[in-house]
Homo-oligomer: A and B are copies of this chain.
Amino acid sequence: MRIVVLTGGIGGARFLRGVRAYAAADGAAVTAVVNVGDDAIMHGLRICPDLDSVLYTLGGGADPERGWGRAGESWTVADELAAYGAEPQWFSLGDRDLATHLVRTTMLNAGYPLSAVAAALSRRWKPGVDLLPATDQRLETHVVVEDGDGQRAIHFQEWWVRHRAQLAARRFVFVGADQAEPAPGVCEALAAADVVLIAPSNPVVSIAPVLAVPGLREAVVAGPAPVVGVSPIIDGTPVRGMADKCLAAVGAQCSAAGVGALYGARSAGGLLDAWLVDEVDADAAVPGVAVHPVPLWMTDDDATEAMVRAALRAAQSR
């Protein structure tokens, strides 16, 4: 059994723990295709929040309370950078986390592609899944915001972290997407997949930038595997994060049905064969898509693995 997961963010990383638990029990192979749209250069270092969330969460190094970053993190370097007045001061790099960025930046500057860096970092963290960036090229999510001075585009991290998504977003632009191509192994994994899962990640800023890589969406839609999505919205509220602000910007409803409709039915040019929603959203309907109400709270690995088993059942019942 070969499972490909499209993923990004903390929710996606936690979902992958359930996928890995399932795979360990059933001997399946898992490939995670991870969003790079959140990536940024800070203090000259390449930051890859979503790739690192997978490494840390699956490698046992994540902070379980905060969700992002390393457990037992300290902030000595960040305090010193602030003492120098170094910008950006609205983005703090933890000391432990920073070492990852140093290793990655050194490798990138030496000419290694991001996918090779992910493989190298995986040798330490042993995530138990094949970790692939959606693309080796730079693909950055920028946000067109509007305030008293009119419209301007800012980096996703500035919108998300500095402005806490409170600046009105007009649209999202995936800078560099036109020059990107799927990272080595992504299309091969999709072509060989028995099932493609869309993690309960933010559809607008985690999954959409993955699918914005030319050829990647096509490889999913035209591929042999059923595609099963998991709703990141339960009872009209994001499980985590500020997906409501993102969905509003693209004119989608913040609901299980709304996100399902955003992805769309594969039979109608969309993505989904099946759509998992929480039991409270049992009445959610997505035209052309089989909707499966199951418990979607990832309270622990067992609960998350049960979600994954439900997704695989949904795939088989296509």
Contacts and interface: CB of A to CB of B under 8 A. Distances in A.
Given A105-B44, A106-B86, A100 B124 contact: no
Contacts of A86: 99, 102-103, 106
Copies in the complex: 2
B124 A95 contact: no
A221 to B, nearest CB: 38
Contact of A109 (B44, B77, B106): B44
A77 B103 contact: no
Contact of A77 (B85, B95, B124): B95
A1 B171 CA distance: 62
Measured as residues with beta carbon below 8 angstroms from the partner, the interface class of chain A is 20 to 34
The interface residues of chain A, by DSSP majority, are classed as helix
A83 B124 contact: yes
A98 interface: yes
A138 to B, nearest CB: 16
A98 B99 CA distance: 11
Contact of A102 (B77, B99, B103, B124): B77
A29 interface: no
A84 B105 contact: no
A76 B95 contact: yes
A19 B163 CA distance: 48
A45 B45 CA distance: 10
Contacts of A26: none
A140 to B, nearest CB: 18
A102 B102 CA distance: 10
A153 to B, nearest CB: 21
Given A44-B102, A80-B100, A84-B103, 10 more contacts: A43-B102, A44-B106, A44-B109, A76-B95, A76-B96, A80-B96, A81-B99, A83-B124, A85-B124, A86-B99
